[in-house]
Amino acid sequence: MKDLTESEKSKLRYDYLTIRDRLEPALRSAYSRVILSRIKKLESYQNAKVVMFYLSYGSEVVTDTMINEVLSDGKDVVVPVIQNPGDGIMTAIRITHLEDCYEAVYGIRQPEFNENEIVDKQDVDLIFVPGIVFDSYGYRIGYGKGYYDRWLAGTDISKRVGLAYEVQLIDKIPSGKYDLPVSIVLTEKRLIEVTRN
């Protein structure tokens, strides 16, 4: 299978970001609440002690309510932190309050980097992954910086769950060797257990 060229990826990224951005904020919030209800039914969520969320940015599936609810459920929540944008490294940091997060690298919220709150990726039980477009094989296109694919390397695919609106789905994204799929994609309409190629 051929790798997507950068121009093909850029076109998909642009097209689907435009589609996602057109969703009204009230609709995105409503869809995100439905997605949260699907999350809570997952056996992997019910059994998880440590859950990783992204801090939603722009028109992404809204995670704030999700994070607050998961914290209320007594689970540990970790979120991505980027210290040095140039090195491509993302770290998972435990948070206890959303209010401790501020707009930082690329305009995305994150908490202060605190070595004492770093959580090893092998200790995370469930990882919610953002994306601009997902396919039925669990592959995704993000913003193109590669932070997630690098961080996800070495994690069990069964722990990876993509969060998206139904309008972000396509049949197939040609994938490269560094692209790591998720095992499930959750939208406001359905739970997709992805097929393996």
When pLDDT is averaged across residues 103-115 and rounded to a whole number, the result is 91
User: Percent of the chain having pLDDT more than 90?
Assistant: 78
Place of tokens 């689970």: 75
Q: How far apart are CA 91 and CA 102, in angstroms?
A: 16
Q: How far apart are CA 140 and CA 155, in angstroms?
A: 16
Residue 96 CB-density burial (10 A; 0-12 exposed, 13-18 middle, 19+ buried) = exposed
pTM (two decimals) = 0.93
Tell me: the pLDDT tens digits for 52-69?
Answer: 999 999 999 999 999 999
Distances (CA, A) of 35 to 2, 15, 32, 41, 171: 33, 23, 5, 10, 21
Q: What does the mean pLDDT of the chain come to?
A: 92
- Which among 64, 106, 102, 55 is positioned nearest to 85, based on CA atoms? 106
Amino acid, res. 52: M
CATH T-level topology, domain 6-193: Rossmann fold (3.40.50)
| pLDDT at residue 1 in the model | 41
Report long-range pairs for 24-30 (Cβ below 8 Å, ≥24 apart).
28/59, 28/61, 28/62, 28/165, 29/62, 30/188
Burial 51-64, CB ≥16 within 10 A → b, else e: bbbbbbeebbbbbe
When pLDDT is averaged across residues 163-168 and rounded to a whole number, the result is 98
The CA-to-CA distance between both ends of the chain, in Å, stands at 11
Picking from 42-46, 124-128, 178-182, which range would have the lowest pLDDT averaged per residue? 178-182
Task: Say whether pLDDT at 176 is over 60.
Answer: yes
> What DSSP line would sit under 67-86, residue for residue?
HHHHHHTT-EEEEEE-S-GG
